[in-house]
Copies of this chain bind each other. A is one copy, B any other.
């Protein structure tokens, strides 16, 4: 959920120059691994929260790609 203010900020300013692509690639990969872990163990809270986090992290990467 901490990603929401970052998404709002990029959307508002239409700028993501200072946001690190490497950071959010690493975050997205980490969250993806948690998601796989949740799926393997069939733990719904882990699946749901990490699926949401992954969507938000990928959104930031998409905005970074769009606004640079």
Q: Is the CB of A26 within 8 A of B9?
A: no
Interface size class of A (residues with CB under 8 A): 20 to 34
Chain A interfacial positions (CB closer than 8 Å to B): 1-6, 8-10, 13, 15-20, 22-24, 26-27, 30
Copies of the polypeptide in the assembly: 2
Contact of A26 among B2, B20, B26 (CB under 8 A): B2
Query: Main SS of chain A's interface residues?
Result: helix
Say which residue of B5, B16, B22, B30 sits within 8 Å of A23 (CB atoms). Answer: B5
Cβ B22 vs Cβ A19 within 8 A: no
Contact B9 A20 (CB under 8 A): yes
Q: With a CB–CB cut-off of 8 A, which chain B residues contact A17?
A: 13, 15, 17-18
